[in-house]
Amino acid sequence: MDRHAARRAPGGQQVSTQPLTTESRPLSASSAAGRTDPARIRNFCIIAHIDHGKSTLADRMLQLTGVVDARHARAQYLDRMDIERERGITIKAQNVRMPWTSGIDGTEYVLHMIDTPGHVDFTYEVSRSLAACEGAVLLVDAAQGIEAQTLANLYLALENNLTIIPVLNKIDLPAAQPDRYAAEIAHIIGCDPDDVLRVSAKTGQGVDQLLDVVCREIPAPVGEADAPSRAMIFDSVYDIYRGVITYIRVIDGHITPRQRIKMMSTGAVHELLEVGVISPEPLPTQGLSVGEVGYLITGVKDVRLSRVGDTVTDAIKPATTALGGYADPKPMVFSGLFPIDGSDYPLLRDALDRLQLNDAALVYEPESSAALGFGFRCGFLGLLHLEITRDRLEREFNLELISTAPNVVNRVILENGEEQIVTNPSDWPGGGRIAQIFEPIAKCMVIAPSEYIGAIMELCQNRRGTLGGIDYLSESRVELRYTLPLAEIIFDFFDQLKSRTRGYASLDYELAGEQQAELVKVDILLQGEAVDAFSSIIHKDKAFAYGTSMTGKLRKLIPRQQFEVPIQAAIGARVIARENISAIRKDVLAKCYGGDITRKRKLLEKQKEGKKRMKMVGRVEVPQEAFIAALSSDEDVPKK
């Protein structure tokens, strides 16, 4: 599972209803919203790797600009979800408006800082956030150097023609190597090492100069004030009290609270209930004008009605063309989610319904598995999205779940020319009717110390990768570019990468179409009966290894039964691996236990209870734990 990025779910729930813990002063910057001269606006985001100090820097900026009183500042003001605080990751940050009087020219500017999610699953959302800005602060830990997602997002920012302000953070650290990493950054973006700013978000050193440079370097937004209004949605979150809060950046015209607006992708018209800015609490305003960033509330209760990337326009005087770049979220990774306790199925359904209110990318439909019972086949943007969703279902809804091994979406062309999109191994067309198979591929970027080049190349080779190129970022760090099947990436790739590079490699990837592939479906059979939950679509060269590992794992995980249980891996009718669980021979307490009948009975009762947690596969009793362990990509299977 990817743990390498600042995380942020499209489903992150925003909590805007908590009591104000700060005194938000009535600032000129916010009171003037709706009438701000675009020439004085600077819209920017911060691109950083997890832990390189984005939240700390944002906190410092809020303090310096007076938006949050130093006395009331609490660490990481902008990261609000508990889960974020706990994990120390950014799932959903916020977008703030700050006033700043430049120390260079004395002008009072309005700064909009827009948060960018940092993970590959949400590349599309990142691209929309970047599209709302004219510039980006590239924040790099002066003791670590640049990491892969940062580089990927940097490239994305450059594609969007953003002005980049390179900054090294944590220069107060004794381990900081600002000269070395300034050279690295200069090499990557093609600037002078002296142009790389040096700050300490912790002590505040250099942050005011950084704000001045933001005002000086980043271009002001341009748009037509008198044209029909057009604003781009770059974020959309569900709040239980207020409904959907939509974050927008105004491109042309005005958005005012009295307006009726139209979503240009669907034509849906909404009444506006509120328009405002965040500074750092929501503050209703008389409107938003060209270049301004703020929020609007329409009372809709489902984020799918207010989609990231869509264009908001006036319902009565609509714009004729939408802003470019809109795309529907497309699930790339599928997995079946099943409640461990079958009676939790309705709870799981309700929970998914609730999450979907806040997660336009989450799709699901009921699925029934012979082995796992009733559940849902869910589609996700990627592995992280899957993990976050699962995590939230378990934490917030108290569900215990089994998830099947994630799989990608394959396109199968049958001999009769028919095309099938397969999102579930159970739907794989059998009987040799397949003419061609296409699988999704991804362009992958790995940054690591150069001593690991060999290990990384070996891993990528193993995963059917094609080398695209190698670049030295500096003498000791390299960037490797590979094209890999997405299916290989979602199968334990990141953990493998980390372990082969002692944790030093970082990874980013983006989807890059499809390729033809020789895939097969491997079934796992217990006593001759296929267990649907274990079926997997896999490259033919890896089928044997998969079959061997799965049958071996299951042999260790399934307790012995009163009869022999053959475990087989098969492609169609051809068995490619087999193991045997020999019949249990002893299951009796053959000891003198005197009169303590109670203890003996309770033991039997407990064992009988345990039987209820078993899933029956034909006549074979399989413990839930065996499913969970067999489906996890973990190599070490605990002994039963």
Ligand X SMILES: Nc1nc2c(ncn2[C@@H]2O[C@H](COP(=O)(O)OP(=O)(O)O)[C@@H](O)[C@H]2O)c(=O)[nH]1
Ligand Y SMILES: C[S@@+](CC[C@H](N)C(=O)[O-])C[C@H]1O[C@@H](n2cnc3c(N)ncnc32)[C@H](O)[C@@H]1O
Query: What track of x and - describes contact with Mg ion for positions 75 through 104 (by CB under 5 A)?
Result: ----x----------x--------------
| Interatomic CA distance for residues 319 and 265, integer angstroms | 12
Query: Which of helix, strand or coil describes residue 343?
Result: helix
Q: Residue 306: is it exposed, middle or buried by C-beta count within 10 angstroms (0-12/13-18/19+)?
A: buried
Helix and strand counts by DSSP (H, E) for the chain: 15, 32
Q: Which of 4, 170, 242, 477 forms a contact with ligand X (CB under 6 A)?
A: 170
20 binds, among other proteins, Mg ion, ligand X, none (CB under 5 to 8 A by kind): none
Q: Within 562-621, which residues bind ligand Y (CB under 6 A)?
A: 591-592
Q: Within 527-566, which residues bind other proteins (CB under 8 A)?
A: 562-563
Q: Which segment (194-202, 242-250, 296-304, 373-381) binds ligand X by CB under 6 A?
A: 194-202
Nearest to 108 by CA among 54, 27, 181, 167: 27
Please, where are the H alpha helices in 176-235?
178-189, 207-217
Regarding 150 and contact with ligand X (CB under 6 A), the answer is: no
In the complex with ligand X, the residue whose CB is nearer, 142 or 456, is: 142
Q: Which segment (54-62, 346-354, 460-468, 471-479) binds ligand X by CB under 6 A?
A: 54-62
Regarding 56 and contact with Mg ion (CB under 5 A), the answer is: no
CB of 53 to Mg ion, least distance (A): 8
| Interatomic CA distance for residues 102 and 220, integer angstroms | 14
Regarding 67 and contact with ligand X (CB under 6 A), the answer is: no
In the complex with ligand Y, the residue whose CB is nearer, 586 or 591, is: 591
CB of 277 to ligand X, least distance (A): 22
In the complex with ligand Y, the residue whose CB is nearer, 587 or 636, is: 587
Which pairs with CB-CB distance under 8 Å and at least 24 residues apart come from 34-38? 34/254, 34/256, 34/285, 34/286, 34/287, 34/288, 34/289, 34/292, 35/286, 35/289, 36/110, 36/289, 36/291, 36/292, 38/220, 38/221, 38/222, 38/223, 38/225, 38/289, 38/290, 38/291
Q: Which of 54, 242, 270, 463 forms a contact with ligand X (CB under 6 A)?
A: 54
| Interatomic CA distance for residues 249 and 44, integer angstroms | 12
Regarding 24 and contact with Mg ion (CB under 5 A), the answer is: no
CB of 76 to ligand Y, least distance (A): 57
Residues 439 and 410: beta-carbon distance below 8 Å: yes
Please, where are the H alpha helices in 40-164?
54-64, 82-87, 123-131, 148-159
Burial of 209-235, coded b for 16+ CB within 10 Å and e otherwise, reads ebbbbbbeebebbebeeeebbbbbbbb
Number of residues that bind ligand X (CB under 6 A): 18
List beta partners, residue 274.
297
Amino acid symbol at 547: G
In the complex with Mg ion, the residue whose CB is nearer, 55 or 501, is: 55
In the complex with ligand X, the residue whose CB is nearer, 300 or 388, is: 388
Regarding 96 and contact with ligand X (CB under 6 A), the answer is: no
CB of 533 to other proteins, least distance (A): 25
Q: Which segment (164-172, 209-217, 285-293, 407-415) binds ligand X by CB under 6 A?
A: 164-172
Residues 59 and 94: beta-carbon distance below 8 Å: no
DSSP state of 317: S
90 binds, among other proteins, Mg ion, ligand Y, none (CB under 5 to 8 A by kind): Mg ion
Regarding 116 and contact with ligand X (CB under 6 A), the answer is: no
Q: Which of 30, 36, 43, 56 forms a contact with ligand X (CB under 6 A)?
A: 56
Helix 624-631 vs helix 543-557: angle between axes, to the nearest 10 degrees? 150
CB of 589 to other proteins, least distance (A): 6
CB of 150 to other proteins, least distance (A): 47
Regarding 85 and contact with ligand X (CB under 6 A), the answer is: no
Q: Which of 192, 194, 226, 596 forms a contact with other proteins (CB under 8 A)?
A: 596
In the complex with ligand Y, the residue whose CB is nearer, 573 or 592, is: 592
Nearest to 112 by CA among 352, 262, 293, 253: 293
The single residue listed with the structure tokens 């959302």 is 125
Residues 371 and 622: beta-carbon distance below 8 Å: yes
Regarding 269 and contact with other proteins (CB under 8 A), the answer is: no
169 binds, among Mg ion, other proteins, ligand X, none (CB under 5 to 8 A by kind): ligand X
In the complex with ligand X, the residue whose CB is nearer, 30 or 55, is: 55
Token pair of 407, please? 């799989």
CB of 136 to ligand X, least distance (A): 14
Q: Which of 395, 602, 613, 640 forms a contact with other proteins (CB under 8 A)?
A: 602
Token pair of 256, please? 């005012």
Q: Which of 469, 588, 636, 639 forms a contact with other proteins (CB under 8 A)?
A: 588
Secondary-structure breakdown of the chain: helix, strand, coil percentages, each rounded to the nearest 5: 30, 30, 40
Which whole-number Å values give the CA distances from 66 to 27, 36, 101, 203, 356, in the listed order? 9, 19, 11, 16, 37
Amino acid symbol at 173: L
602 binds, among ligand X, Mg ion, other proteins, none (CB under 5 to 8 A by kind): other proteins
Q: Which of 258, 586, 636, 638 forms a contact with other proteins (CB under 8 A)?
A: 586
Applying CB under 5 A, the residues found at the interface with Mg ion are 55, 79, 90
Applying CB under 6 A, the residues found at the interface with ligand X are 6, 48, 50-56, 76, 90, 169-170, 172-173, 200-202
Applying CB under 6 A, the residues found at the interface with ligand Y are 591-592
Applying CB under 8 A, the residues found at the interface with other proteins are 562-563, 584-592, 594-602, 604-605, 607-608, 611
